Copies of this chain bind each other. A is one copy, B any other.
Amino acid sequence: MDREDYRALFNPRAVAVVGASNNPLKLGYSVYENLKDYPKGNVYPINPRERVVQGSLAYPSLHEVPEPLDLVVITVPREHVEELVRQAGEKGARVAVVITAGFSEVGGEGRELERKLIATARKAGVRVLGPNCVGVMNLKAGLNATFIKAPRPGGMAFLSQSGALAAGLVYRMDSQGGGLSKFASLGNMADLVFEDFLPHLSRDPDVKTIGLYVEGVRSGRAYMEALREATRHKPTVVLKGGKTPQGARAAGSHTGSLAGEYRVFRAATLQSGALVAEGLEEFLAMAQGLEQPLPRGRRVAVLTNAGGPGVLMVDELVRRGLEIAHLSPETVDALRSFLPPAASTANPVDMVASARGNDYWRATRLILQDPGVDMLIAISVVPTFAGIRGVDHADGIRRGVRDARVEKPVLALFMAGRVAEEARLALASNGVPVFETPGEAAAAAWALAWRAGLVGAWPGAPVP
C-alpha cells in the first residue's frame, strides 16, 4: 500500500457505499448511516433500486457518481463484488473495502471467488481490504466506514484480523473511556495485510500506539520486518489468537510455522520490539498505557483513597519488576500538612475515604514533582456516600497533572463498575488512561517501563 492508498483509505476525498440502504436490517444501512456525515469528502450511496437513501439522492451504479472516487465500500452479496471492484478502478478508486462475507472463510466456491476478486482488483489497480471485514475508521477525521459504532478519538491505532473481536474491544474500550486513532478490520487478508499498514501507521502523527490482533500472517518474514521497523517509531502491542493448536484450528489458520508455534511467534514478536499481550484485558491496558510519556526509571508512586486496592496495586507492580518509590521527606511533610491524621503518607499514599477532588489535585502535583518518583498511579474507589463525587477525583487528578508541569507517566485506576463510569470518561478524555483493576493498571505501567528499557520480559500467563 503506497502513501496515496493510505491517504485514500483513511482520508478519502470521495467515497461510495455500494448497498447503501433504507432497510435497517441490511449492513449497508449501518455503513451508510455511519459514513454519511463524514466531513472531509462526498459520500455517495449506491443502490439501483432506491432513488433516495436515508434522505440523500442515491446513484444506481458507481458509473453515475459525478466525480472520481478514492474509496469504495462494498456491502452487497458476494457474486457482485468482483465486477464492482473493476468499476471502482474505472472511477479512480485506490482502495475497495469489501465488507461482504462468503469468500475464502467458507471454503469451496468462496475461495475461488476470492481468488478471482483479487486478480481483477490487481488488474484494476485497486487495493482490497477484506473481504469479510468490518471496515475502517479514522476517528480524528470523523470517518467511520464500518457497521459498528465509533469510539471516541484517541491515540491508539488498531488492526484486527477478527471483525467481531474488534467490535467487542472497541465497545469495551469505549465504556472504559479509551479511544482510537485509526482502525482497520483486515478480514480474510486477501490483499492488504498487517505489513501494508505498519509503515504508514508508525509514521502517522495522529497515531501514538499500535495494537494488532493477529490470528495468522501471510509472510512471517515480511510481517516481522514491518513490525521491527514500526516499533522503532511507535510502541506496538500484539495479541495472538490461536496460541494453542486447538485455538489455531478454530482460527482456521494454515499459515505455517510462525502462526502454528506460539512460542516462536511470541519470541519473534518480542525481538521485533513489540509487546506481546497474553489476554484481552492486558492488550487494551498496554496499548492505552503506552500513550503516556515514557518513565525515566521504574519507581512508581501509588496515590489512593482506599487501602486494599493500594495493596493489590503494589503487589501487581512488584511482581512485574517495578519498584515502589520512596517519597522525599519534603513531599511527605507537604502531604501531611493537608491530609487527615488517619491518612498514610508512605507510598502508597492513602488519603482515606474522605478525600475529595482538591486532595487529589494537591497530592498528584506534589508526588509528580518528587524527584524520586518516575510514574504515578492514582486510584479512586468512588465513594457513594458523604456527597463525594468520582468526577471530582478525576478532575483533581487532571489538575494535578497539569500543575505539576513534569513529563512523567500518569495512570488511573477507578474501581467501581458503573458507579465510576462518568469519572473514568472525564479523566480519559483528558489524556489520563483509566483502568478498572489493579492488574490492568500494572500491565500498563509495566508496558511503559518495558518500552523505556527499564524492565525485562514479563513472562505473563504460562503458555502451553
Contacts and interface: CB of A to CB of B under 8 A. Distances in A.
Interface residues of A, number: 89
A308 B385 contact: no
A142 to B, nearest CB: 18
Contacts of A280: 312, 437-439
B342 A105 contact: yes
A118 interface: no
A415 B168 contact: yes
B311 A162 contact: yes
A310 B249 CA distance: 11
Interface string A370-411: 000000000001111111000000000000000000000000
Most B CB atoms within 10 A — which of A175, A176, A252, A315? A315
Contacts of A316: 279
Given A308-B165, A319-B244, A250 B348 contact: yes
Nearest to A151: B417
A460 interface: yes
A268 interface: no
Nearest to A459: B462
Contacts of A244: 314-315, 318-319
A273 to B, nearest CB: 23
Contacts of A353: 164
Most B CB atoms within 10 A — which of A174, A302, A461, A462? A461
Most B CB atoms within 10 A — which of A25, A168, A348? A168
Contact of A319 (B149, B315, B383, B461): B461
Contact of A165 (B309, B383, B436): B309
A164 B306 contact: yes
Contact of A464 (B106, B306, B319): B319
B439 A281 contact: yes
Contact of A247 (B161, B306, B314, B463): B314
B164 A305 contact: yes
Given A168-B415, A305-B164, A439-B280, A311 B242 contact: yes
Nearest to A172: B417
A408 to B, nearest CB: 20
A437 B307 contact: no
Most B CB atoms within 10 A — which of A164, A279, A302, A436? A164
Contacts of A171: 382, 384, 415-420
Given A162-B306, A381-B168, A386-B25, A241 B311 contact: yes
A464 B30 CA distance: 49
A377 to B, nearest CB: 13
Given A171-B420, A241-B311, A318 B464 contact: yes
A104 B105 CA distance: 64
A457 to B, nearest CB: 11
Interface in A307-350: 307-312, 314-316, 318-319, 324, 341-342, 346, 348
20 contacts: A30-B384, A101-B342, A149-B384, A162-B307, A162-B308, A162-B311, A165-B308, A167-B383, A168-B306, A168-B309, A171-B415, A174-B417, A174-B418, A175-B418, A242-B311, A250-B346, A251-B311, A280-B312, A319-B462, A319-B464
Interface of A: 24-27, 29-30, 101-102, 105-106, 147-149, 160-169, 171-176, 213, 215, 241-247, 250-252, 279-281, 302, 305-312, 314-316, 318-319, 324, 341-342, 346, 348, 352-353, 381-387, 415-421, 436-439, 459-464
